[in-house]
Amino acid sequence: MPETLITVDLKASPYDNPKIHNRWHPDIPMACWVKPGDDFVLETFDWTGGFIKNNDSADDVRDIDLSTVHFLSGPVGVKGAEPGDLLVVDLLDIGAKDDSLWGFNGFFSKQNGGGFLTDHFPSAQKSIWDFHGMFTTSRHIPNVKFAGLIHPGLIGCLPDQKMLDMWNEREIDFIATDPDRVPPLANPPFAKTAHTGQATGDVAAKIAAEGARTVPPREHGGNCDIKDLSRGSKIYFPVYVDGAGLSVGDLHFSQGDGEITFCGAIEMAGWVHMKVELIKGGMAKYGIKNPVFKPSPITPHYNDYLIFEGISVDEQGKQHYLDVNVAYRQACLNAIEYMTKFGYSRAQAYSILGTAPVQGHISGVVDIPNACATLWLPTQIFDFDINPNASGPTKLVTPGMDMPLSLDL
């Protein structure tokens, strides 16, 4: 068996685990060291560090302090890695921990985080998903079952000081363009809830004051939330600091393209078995600025879809110029409206789009003035026929429990 280099106790606070951190900074000390060619296991908390519970209330989703996330395992130092190299990471396997065979999905309140459709779903809601081997079902969403395309939502290497300074400068400048926006345009460094790993004293204070928040994906990868970056994938990461400093967390049992619900996919605690290699000088040799990856040879096999189109005309009928964000939102809203005809609440339909192996495609970006985006809903995840036909939709026979909702206080 490969060695487990980082273990987590899900009953303990992630702040008490020195091999966990929740900011990006070059001075975060390596939690452990490996050599090129090594394979090893890292355990991870869920991205909230256990704040969201397996129950039938959405109060935790409403009340979470989002300055605490994401709790990441690492950084792992790789001997011989230098700036300009590529770190090659094989995701050999990923799984849930035996004492945590469940995950959660939710929508943040518009006042605390929001999400892709926050104007339509302004209150906190939650669904809990149980794992049955490679499959999942939810007591809050009847008549769907699907296989997990399990993946880390967040993985990447430490930035160097120059890159960190660039991130902070551009994001702080961006926030200044509309500082009172709800939800905010971005989140600046925030020392109070920083977890700086094994750092102490002045080093810990510097990391806390400057450390980049973990929500956005950036040049190093990070929180990309790519559902196809699943077990069996091979990723090529740019290296910026000696030792690379690879960190991982935010595991997802399954996710729809876009992770539109934001809290989040089907979020879980678990473990990642991986192997690392180096390509010396690989960034310049291959012209690589952002990570590249190869997909898994094994993926769940869904080959029939109902595909919803959306164009860049918003809910108020306003024309937008080739705006893919507006177009994808319309495709999602069209799919939600359709699913309600079968008895799902709008929240249940939204949660299905955030959790199931839904595909999102940018279909056209040149046909002025409208971009076209498509939302691919896999029909085989439903235990009834969800296709249109002449006799009209049949309501679900087992409506079940709806998703709990918590209004803002």
Q: Which of residues 350-369 bind Zn ion (CB under 5 A)?
A: none
Is-contact 243 30, C-beta < 8 A?
A: yes
Please report how close the Cβ of residue 291 comes to Zn ion at its closest, in angstroms: 17
Q: For residue 193, give the DSSP letter.
A: G
CA of 374: how far to CAs of 247, 303, 342, in Å? Answer: 33, 16, 21
Cα–Cα distance between 283 and 134 in angstroms, integer?
Answer: 36
Residue number, 128 or 372, with CB nearest to Zn ion:
128
Question: Which CB sits closer to Zn ion, 68 or 312?
Answer: 68
Nearest residue (CB) to Zn ion, 14 versus 264 = 264
Q: Which residues of 188-201 are buried (b: 16+ CB within 10 A; e: fewer)?
A: ebebeebbbbebee
CB of 15 to Zn ion, least distance (A): 19
Minimum distance between the CB of residue 195 and Zn ion, rounded to whole angstroms? 17
188: Cβ contacts below 8 Å, ≥ 6 apart: 168, 171, 172, 175, 213
Tokens 């009928």: give the residue.
Answer: 317
Q: Kindly tell me the sign of the dihedral angle through the C-alpha atoms of 388, 393, 398, 403.
A: positive
- For residues 110 and 183, the answer to whether their CB atoms sit within 8 Å is yes
Residue nearest to Zn ion (CB): 264
Closer to Zn ion at the Cβ: 261 or 363?
Answer: 261
Smallest gap from residue 146 Cβ to Zn ion (A): 17
Q: Which is nearer to Zn ion, 60 or 250 (CB)?
A: 250
Nearer to Zn ion, 14 or 153 (CB): 153
Out of 27, 242, 250, 257, name the contact with Zn ion by CB under 5 A.
Answer: 250
Tell me phi and psi for residue 14, to 5 degrees: -60, -25
Question: Between the CA of residue 229 and those of 143, 149, 202, 236, 357, what are the distances in Å?
Answer: 27, 9, 37, 12, 13
393 in helix, strand or coil? coil
Q: Which stretch binds Zn ion (CB under 5 A): 1-9, 30-38, 259-267, 375-383?
A: 259-267
Contact between 46 and Zn ion by CB under 5 A: the answer reads no
10 Å CB burial of residue 365 (0-12, 13-18, 19+) is: middle
Looking at the Cβ atoms of 47 and 107, the one nearer to Zn ion is: 47
Residues 209-248, one symbol each (x = binds Zn ion by CB under 5 A, - = not), give ----------------------------------------
Q: Give the shortest CB-265-to-Zn ion separation in angstroms.
A: 5
- Helix or strand or coil: residue 382? strand
Give the binding range for Zn ion (CB under 5 A) out of 45-53, 134-142, 214-222, 333-341: 45-53
| Shortest spacing between CB 93 and Zn ion, in angstroms | 19
Rounded least distance, CB 299 to Zn ion, Å: 19
- Altogether, the residues listed in the chain come to a count of 409
Nearest distance from C-beta of residue 314 to Zn ion, angstroms: 27
Among 14, 238, 249, 264, binds Zn ion (CB under 5 A): 264
Size of the site for Zn ion (CB under 5 A): 4
* DSSP codes, 125-186: EEEEEEEETTEEEETTEEEEEEE---EEEEEEE---HHHHHHHHHHHHHHHTTSTT-SS-S-
State the maximum Cα–Cα separation within the chain, in Å, rounded to a whole number.
70
Closest separation between CB of residue 267 and Zn ion, Å? 5
* Interacting positions 12-41 with Zn ion (CB under 5 A): none
* Stretch near Zn ion under the rule CB under 5 A, chosen from 19-27, 192-200, 263-271, 293-301: 263-271
CB nearer to Zn ion: pick between 85 and 227: 227
Question: C-alpha 90: how far from its chain's center?
Answer: 19
Q: At a CB cut-off of 8 Å and minimum separation 6, what does 98 contact?
A: none
Query: Which residue, 118 or 330, has its beta carbon nearer to Zn ion?
Result: 118
Candidate segments 7-15, 264-272, 290-298, 340-348, binder of Zn ion by CB under 5 A: 264-272
Stretch that binds Zn ion, among 47-55, 142-150, 269-277, 340-348 (CB under 5 A): 47-55
Nearer to Zn ion, 239 or 269 (CB): 269
Closer CB to Zn ion, residue 47 or residue 236?
Answer: 47
Contacts (CB under 5 A) with Zn ion, residues 135-194: 153
Mapping DSSP to helix (H, G, I), strand (E, B) and coil, where does residue 298 land?
Answer: coil
Q: 224 by DSSP, 3-state: which?
A: coil
Residues at the interface with Zn ion (CB under 5 A):
47, 153, 250, 264
